[in-house]
């Protein structure tokens, strides 16, 4: 089980990815003030969607725990906690369900069932009175799992290409060589496989912390440089570009915020799952922090480079210190 601080680190790392460097282009597409409003508004929408996911999981898991006639089928919730971790979770051999015991605020023991995305969809349909809806439980589970896999493959693909392109640029500059992009593409693959093989969220929290430090340091350096550069007068930049541009910008901003694929695994392994929710919960604080970072990066990037912006703000920077 992990502390709330570890969950915060992992959630920030999930949101603070390579998408932040494309936000100035999103501001250019939408317009300066439209992009600013979208960055904050979509942050609220993102936080609300993750809150809904957690609340649904907790509600269905609590109801499943208290039900006396739990179906003893393979479609019951699967364990979300690694067996290699020593915690207070216990797997019921009869229904293949993880029963997590955590201490509540009053000192008592709180029992809950940890549901992942597919199992949550299964429970939502299986608990309905309508037989036609109950029959959709298994297809819903399969469909949701496929969507989660596609979501993660898409995210990882963009990260992979980002790492390869920027690693090539750094190596070519530092060593005055022209390394093949294809060679580098396969060279970094073992490192991605190694990180993907880590199952412990506690270990991933430290990896995520290192990643957060590197990304935040990069953002601070970029923002620091842009603060002291010449800026385009705000009156010369459009407040609103077009409906099409705002739509494209919204897509880029939503992609940058996306962390729905990790919120339930984090919540399932927290010592105090309720800390994920609330005004000062993990979701609210992490999204608030990221919203400020995203808006600052997008705003400064647009007022600094204007129409000369490239796909990533890092491509506009010079190689000189």
Summarised one tens digit per residue, pLDDT across range 235-270 is: 899 999 899 999 999 988 988 887 778 888 888 888
pLDDT for residue 168 is more than 80: yes
> What pLDDT does residue 85 have?
44
Domain ranges within the chain, ordered by starting residue: 4-75+178-311
> What pLDDT does residue 233 have?
92
DSSP letters spanning 221-269: HHHHHHHTS----GGGS-S---HHHHHHHHHHHHHHH--HHHHHHHHHT
Q: Please say whether the dihedral angle defined by the alpha carbons of residues 12, 18, 20 and 23, taken in this order, is positive or negative.
A: negative
Our CA dihedral for 153, 155, 161, 166, rounded to 10 degrees, sits at -150
From residue 82, alpha-carbon distances to 18, 100, 200, 273 in Å are 29, 12, 7, 17
> What pLDDT does residue 320 have?
59
> What pLDDT does residue 93 have?
43
pLDDT for residue 88 is more than 50: no
pLDDT for residue 155 is more than 70: yes
In the structure, what pLDDT confidence band is assigned to residue 77 with cuts at 50, 70 and 90?
very low
- Residue in 145, 144, 141, 125 with CA at minimum distance from that of residue 133: 125
Weakest mean pLDDT among 105-109, 152-156, 293-297: 105-109
- Residue in 50, 70, 52 with CA at minimum distance from that of residue 113: 70
Instruction: State both tokens at 144.
Output: 């949701």
97 DSSP β-pair partners: 92
> What pLDDT does residue 273 have?
85
């Amino acid at each position: 089980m992990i502390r709330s601080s570890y969950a915060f680190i992992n959630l920030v790392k999930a949101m603070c990815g390579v998408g932040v460097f494309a936000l100035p282009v999103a501001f250019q597409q939408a317009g300066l003030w439209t992009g600013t409003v979208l960055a904050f508004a979509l942050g609220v929408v993102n936080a609300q969607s993750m809150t809904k996911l957690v609340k649904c999981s907790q509600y269905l898991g609590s109801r499943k725990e208290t039900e006396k006639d739990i179906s003893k089928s393979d479609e019951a919730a699967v364990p979300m906690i690694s067996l290699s971790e020593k915690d207070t979770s216990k797997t019921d051999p009869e229904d293949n369900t993880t029963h997590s015991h955590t201490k509540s605020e009053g000192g008592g023991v709180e029992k809950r069932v940890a549901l992942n995305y597919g199992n949550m969809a299964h429970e939502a349909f299986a608990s309905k009175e309508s037989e036609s809806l109950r029959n959709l439980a298994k297809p819903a589970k399969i469909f949701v799992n496929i969507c989660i896999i596609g979501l993660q493959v898409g995210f990882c693909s963009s990260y992979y290409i980002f790492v390869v392109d920027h690693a090539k640029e750094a190596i070519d500059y530092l060593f005055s060589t022209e390394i093949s992009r294809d060679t580098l593409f396969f060279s970094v693959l073992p490192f991605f496989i190694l990180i993907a093989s880590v199952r412990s969220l506690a270990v991933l929290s430290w990896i995520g912390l290192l990643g957060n430090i590197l990304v935040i340091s990069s953002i601070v350096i970029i923002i620091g440089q842009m603060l002291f550069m010449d800026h385009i007068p705000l009156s010369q930049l459009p407040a609103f570009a077009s409906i099409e541009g705002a739509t494209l910008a919204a897509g880029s901003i939503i992609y940058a915020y996306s962390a729905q694929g990790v919120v339930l695994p984090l919540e399932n392994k927290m010592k105090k799952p309720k800390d994920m929710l609330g005004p000062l919960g993990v979701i609210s604080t992490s999204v608030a922090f990221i919203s400020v970072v995203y808006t600052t990066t997008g705003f400064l990037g647009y007022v600094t480079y204007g129409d000369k912006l490239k796909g990533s703000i890092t491509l506009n920077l010079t190689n000189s210190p």
